[in-house]
Structure 1
Amino acid sequence: MKLWRVDDVMTRDVISVREDTPYRELVDLLISRRVSAVPVVDGHDRVTGVVSEADLLHKVEAAGGTSPRIFDAWRRRGDRAKAGGRTAGEVMTSPVVSAEASLSLAAAARRMQREHVKRLPVVDHQGHLIGIVTRSDLLKVHRRSDTEICGDVVSEALRDVAVRDGSAVRVTCSDGVVTLSGRVHFRSAAEQIARISRRVPGVVDVADGLTFDIDDSMLNGSERGTPFGVA
């Protein structure tokens, strides 16, 4: 089973700007290219920040009034400086939350959630910009066909699990939902099939209809979820 990584879904042709890029040019770039943010790089293409629509909107917000009460309500003191910024370096968000190309999609999604960001510049080991991955890019894994998903479930979830014969377990997939039916010898085997199936890229959910002959979860020498003979 192929583990989907950031480099499977990221955009490689990245639009970037330098720290001295003027504010008006940033606005024109985001609107004309229909993107919500751009990485900021130095002279060696190392990422130093990100300018998003949210960063640029501080100036629009400040245009409605500059009383201390309005600014004091802002969550970060830096927002006040961004409202007066003229260049990318003055309005960008820094330090950057980035990702490596080898990062799994699950790990990238967790990083976005934890850091409250909508995209991650992708950098090499020296910090050079090589791509960008957004939340919508991470969803691309769920565009896999039902046939591809079914094939992975059969080859991965059933390959190492002790079943009585090749026809004991039936796998179907519709709109990303995997349905498992049939009978296996041990309860632990049934649980492992369902568990591995849920990890297949593109699976939306698993309808587990497997039954078993022997409940081996309490037997000595057998750990729950691990069938005999399976490492």
Structure 2
Amino acid sequence: MRTWQVGDVMTTDVATVDEAAPYREIVDVMTARRVSAVPVVDDFRRVLGVISEADLLHKVELIGTPHGPRLFEGRRRHATRVKADASVARDLMTAPAITTMDGTTVVEAAKTMNRAGVKRLPVIDDLGRLVGIVSRGDLLKVHLRHDDDIRHDVVTEVLHRILGISDDAVTVNVAAGAVTLAGRLDRRSSAELAAHLAAQVSGVVGVVDQIGYDIDDVDPARYRSGTPTGIL
């Protein structure tokens, strides 16, 4: 079963700067392209770092404020002061850049963004060269899939191809990305697996599992014939 990957949602026309780009040029590029960050690349388009609006705003933040080094200076203030005094990309960028690859699933990309606390990821190939960029907004595109497309994947990929379940055994309805499975199978494990796999189809926001079963092969000691497995 194929799930959506970064390559399905990323932007390929990426605004970039080189490491020698001056502050004003970086601001001009970001303003002209209406982006909030740019990757810094070398001559081979390998990603060296990323400059965001937050990196640039340190200079604005400390305008007119004495900000020389202090005897006891915290890490955060030191970083702010250094970037406020920086004039070229190599000193302004955050490095190394947190990156991803176009074959990464949107789920894993979202987890990476969350762990790293970033809003976008440069997308690189096997040689570390920039091929695109993916933002939080891009990852949400997976939930713009039409309900009919989602239903098709649940029926053909999950029920038919993976589980070998016939159309008359389980019905599938999709509304606003929420999948409802109803019907009856012989075993509880099959019913639960159908719901679990359906939840992994790209664009699914939730699964209501109303599949009954004849035999509880998951917990025989608590066997209950015909009981739906629950809601995911």
Q: TM-score per shorter chain, which class?
A: 0.7 to 0.9
Letter in 1 for 2:5: R
Using the TM superposition, give the Cα deviation of residue 171 of structure 1 relative to its aligned residue in structure 2, in angstroms.
0.4
* Gapped regions of structure 2 (runs ≥ 5): 222-232
**Cα distance per residue 1:114-167 (max 9 Å; x no partner):** 11111111111221111111111111111110000001111122124365x531
* Gapped regions of structure 1 (runs ≥ 5): 221-231
Please state if 1:120 is matched with 2:121.
yes
Please state if 1:17 is matched with 2:12.
no
Letter in 1 for 2:14: V
CA RMSD across the alignment: 2.0
Describe how 1:1-231 pairs up with structure 2 within 5 A.
Answer: 1-63=1-63, 65-67=65-67, 72=73, 75=76, 77-159=78-160, 160-161=162-163, 163=165, 166-218=167-219
Separation in structure 2 between the aligned mates of residue 161 and residue 29 of structure 1, nearest angstrom: 51
If the length of structure 1 is used for normalisation, what is the TM-score? 0.87
Using the TM superposition, give the Cα deviation of residue 72 of structure 1 relative to its aligned residue in structure 2, in angstroms.
4.5
The count of residues paired between Structure 1 and Structure 2 equals 218
**Aligned structure 1 segments of 4 or more residues deviating by more than 6 angstroms:** none
Separation in structure 1 between the aligned mates of residue 46 and residue 77 of structure 2, nearest angstrom: 26
Which residue is 2:224 aligned to? none
SS at match of 2:98: coil
If the length of structure 2 is used for normalisation, what is the TM-score? 0.87
Distance 1:194 1:131, change over 3 A: same
**Residues 98 and 122 of structure 1 are in contact (CA less than 8 Å); yes or no, is this contact kept in structure 2?**
yes
Separation in structure 1 between the aligned mates of residue 122 and residue 12 of structure 2, nearest angstrom: 10
Separation in structure 1 between the aligned mates of residue 10 and residue 136 of structure 2, nearest angstrom: 10
Using the TM superposition, give the Cα deviation of residue 66 of structure 1 relative to its aligned residue in structure 2, in angstroms.
2.6
